[in-house]
Chains A and B, each alone.
Chain A
Amino acid sequence: MVDNPLWVALIVGGVLMFVTLTGMAYMTWFERKVLARFQDRLGPTRTGPFGLMQPLADAVKLLGKEDLVPAAADRVVFLLAPIVIFVTAIVGVSVIPFGGAISIFGFELNLFAADVNVGALVILALGSVGVYGIVLGAFASANRFSLLGGLRAAAQVISYEVVLGLSLVGIFMLAGSLSLREILVAQQDDLIFNLFGLSISLPNWYILSQPIAFVVYLIAAVAETNRAPFDLPEAESELVAGFHTEYSGFRFSLYFLGEYINMIVISLFASTLFLGGTDGPGAASVWGLGVVYLLAKTVMFLFFYLWLRATLPRFRFDQLMGIAWKVLLPVALLNILFTAFVRLIANDEITIPAWVWIVAAVVLAGVLVLTSLNDRANRPRPSAQAGD
């Protein structure tokens, strides 16, 4: 590993930004194609081969539209809000490691813009700042639908951010670091089991050791990016278009860009954390294969997003909050406890006397019994329900 000098980091960052924007453009193409296939259609076909020039045509159309500012809008905030979401989305790419040091034209350089030692948290932080783009844009529009969309976005993002963060704690504990690069390195080890004398070697990808966290993360990530089935802030059928009702032209396209880049970043992040990122057979020896692996995994996640959108109906808002606080949060917390426990046992850092096990079992059973009794006592009688 070498440290990138500032100017190299700037160049890498610039290249990444360009690649991300292009990727985003073709993400829209990909989405239209995939959705069309789900619905037994063809999708865009006229612009270029397979409709490949469609993103370009869309860009021209969006840029050509009039940039409207409603008369009652809070003008400055209205103009600034889309920029917030775009910037926070694209900065996220800078901490994703695309691989180790490579040598180009005699230069040693690292394939990431910034190796921050709290990289994982930076992504979470950017997500939490990004919500201001939605909330402020909604507020500044002076439109009831937008306001409702903004309120939903605020509540949703705060709730799911907690879940998102907690689902990753298990990984941080296993890797012993918050740095994405070190998490990546830790996943390149081999996980060797001894199963009935048979030695099985698996990659140390955290999806294997943290499957619960992976599921929780996947659900929370969809909600965090406001995608279907959690796209309540911009629900067309209820809120017209939610927070961006009043936006048009270029400013609308910034929201659009922000949302898709967010998806890409979250997918890159998930690939890095759970699927070993650039790790894969032969990745260490073949130049550039790591990046291909990473991108392939990312595209898999993106396809999953589109699959969800094509399949699932939208949640109701109270269901959305209920899932976060009553299901995902307890599951994530239990996962943390369990991970810590297993880690301590596996590393022989503690030995647990038998009586602790017995007490724990008794307490757990007691809590379960009491809870079920309480539930039964509090369950409304059928007649009362009918009376309501």
Chain B
Amino acid sequence: MEWASVAFYLIATVCVLSAAGVVIARSAVHSAIFLILCFLNIAATFVMLGAEFLAVVQVIVYTGAILVLVLFVLMLVDEDQLPDFHTGQPIQRISGLILGLILLLEIGAAITARSIQGATGGATPENVAAVGGNTQALGRVLYDDNLLAFIVVSLVLTVAVIGAIVLALPDRRVGINQRRGTGTINLGHPVGTDGIPLALPAVRGESPIAAATPGDLRPVAGERQIIMVRDPDAYTEVGQHDAAPDNRPLIKR
């Protein structure tokens, strides 16, 4: 018993410290590493509570999959382009700290002063042992009491997949030809608009681009029409109702 509590306090301390590290660390990758540590310790806590299945799933799903993806993205992004997590007015940081502490105090007070208690559920140690262990018990609860939720969660994942595909797929109207065209000469931001700029061989020593007037169409192979040059309007991404100067970047630095 003593050893178990020593182990618990050790795990809990590391867990809390690494959670603090997530917030304090300057580099996003270091934050992610602290988060890994935190998750592993949470898994260890689950083991101490006798929930081995949950612990292993925590490691496989959170540590092994989700955080690897987080690191994946962090590695793809130049670290200088990530937003700095530690800017902001001192007053914001202090007020945030104070609010957090108040919430922590409230939670502490709620834990220590609570008086009502729920009825004991079905998963008592005897019942769990009777069905063959923690994993079996979890299976029974999932496929019996929480069947509906279990089914619907799969729909949530389906929606997430559909959403990811919708948002990540390039516009259908931009075919491979067009993408290659935009890759040859990039005159701005033409993806998703109604034509493609294309470099044609110079005629009589004159750049075809310079010679063309905005909106100038020229037929190439087949009946395909190509816009030679477009007016700036076609390239500037302006919100439909926002004036141009208010074209703020998504992430403020």
A residues at B contact (CB < 8 Å): 74, 77, 116-118, 121-122, 124-125, 127-129, 131-132, 135-136, 138-139, 147, 150-151, 154-155, 157-158, 161, 165, 177-178, 387-388
* Residue of B40, B57, B60 most packed against chain A (CB within 10 A): B60
- Asked whether A387 lies within 8 Å of B53 as measured between CB atoms, the reply is no
Is there contact, CB below 8 Å, between B59 and A125?
yes
Q: Which residues of A contact B69 (CB under 8 A)?
A: 154, 158
CB distance from A139 to the nearest CB of B (A): 6
Q: Is the CB of B31 closer than 8 A to any CB of chain A?
A: no
Could you show 25 A-B contacts with beta carbons less than 8 Å apart? A74-B27, A116-B52, A118-B53, A118-B135, A121-B57, A121-B60, A124-B60, A125-B56, A128-B65, A129-B63, A131-B64, A132-B71, A135-B68, A135-B71, A135-B72, A139-B75, A150-B75, A151-B72, A151-B75, A151-B76, A154-B75, A158-B65, A158-B68, A178-B53, A387-B221
Of all chain A residues, the one with the shortest Cβ separation from B134 is A117
Taking CB atoms, residues of chain B closer than 8 Å to A161 are 60, 64-65
Indicate which residue in A77, A117, A129, A136 contacts B135 across the interface (CB closer than 8 Å): A117
Interface residues in B, total, Cβ within 8 A: 29
**Whole-angstrom distance between the Cβ of B58 and the nearest chain A Cβ:** 9
Contact of A131 among B68, B132, B133 (CB under 8 A): B68
Q: Which one of A116, A129, A136 contacts B64 once the chains associate, using CB atoms below 8 Å?
A: A129
Given contacts A77-B29, A125-B59, A129-B63, contact A157 B68 (CB under 8 A): yes
Question: For residue A138, which residues in chain B have a CB less than 8 angstroms away from its CB?
Answer: 75
- The residues of B with any CB-CB pair to A shorter than 8 Å are 27, 29-30, 33, 36, 40, 52-53, 56-57, 59-60, 63-65, 68-69, 71-72, 75-76, 132-135, 176-177, 180, 221
Please name the 4 residue pairs, one residue from A and one from B, whose CB atoms are nearest each other, closest first: A128-B64, A125-B59, A121-B56, A118-B52
Bound-complex Cα distance A178 to B57 (A):
13
Given contacts A117-B52, A139-B71, A147-B75, contact A128 B33 (CB under 8 A): no
Given contacts A117-B134, A117-B135, 5 further A-B contacts (CB under 8 A): A116-B52, A117-B133, A121-B60, A132-B36, A161-B65
Output the least CB separation between B36 and chain A (Å): 7
- Residues on A with C-beta less than 8 A from B64 are 125, 127-129, 131, 158, 161
CB neighbours (8 Å) of A150 from chain B are 75
Enumerate chain B residues within 8 angstroms of A139, measured Cβ to Cβ: 29, 71, 75
Known pairs A117-B52, A135-B71, A388-B176; A128 contacts B60 (CB<8 A)? yes
CA distance A147 to B74 in the complex (A): 11
Across-interface contacts of B132 in A (CB, < 8 A): 177
- A77, A155, A387: the one within 8 Å of B72 (CB): A155
Measured between alpha carbons, how far is A203 from B40 in the docked complex, in Å?
Answer: 39
Whether A118 contacts B68 by the Cβ 8 Å rule is no
The CA of A178 and the CA of B54, in the complex, are separated in Å by 13
Is the Cβ of B59 less than 8 Å from the Cβ of A387? no
Instruction: Give the chain B neighbours of A117 by CB distance below 8 A.
Output: 52, 133-135
**Measured between alpha carbons, how far is A118 from B47 in the docked complex, in Å?**
11
On whether the beta carbons of B60 and A125 are closer than 8 Å, the reply is yes
In the complex, how many angstroms separate the beta carbon of B12 from the nearest chain A beta carbon?
Answer: 20
Q: Which residues of B sit under 8 angstroms from A151, Cβ to Cβ?
A: 72, 75-76
> Are B135 and A165 interface neighbours, CB within 8 A?
no
Cα distance, A155 to B180, chains bound together (Å) = 27
Kindly list chain B residues whose C-beta atoms are within 8 Å of the C-beta of A118: 52-53, 56, 135
Q: Which of B53, B63, B72, B177 contacts A121 (CB 8 A)?
A: B53
Complex Cα spacing A290 to B53, Å: 29
Beta-carbon nearest neighbor of A125 in chain B: B59
Question: A135 to B33, alpha carbons, bound, how many Å?
Answer: 11
Inter-chain CA distance A333–B68, complex, in Å, is: 24
A165–B60 contact, CB under 8 A? yes
Contacting residues, chain B, for A125 (C-beta < 8 A): 56, 59-60, 63-64
Give the complex CA separation of A139 and B69 in angstroms.
14
Closest to B180 in A: A388
Q: Report the separation of the CA atoms of residues A77 and B71 in the bound assembly, to the nearest whole angstrom.
A: 13
Give the docked Cα–Cα distance between A158 and B69 (Å): 9
Q: How far is the CB of A116 from chain B (nearest CB, A)?
A: 6
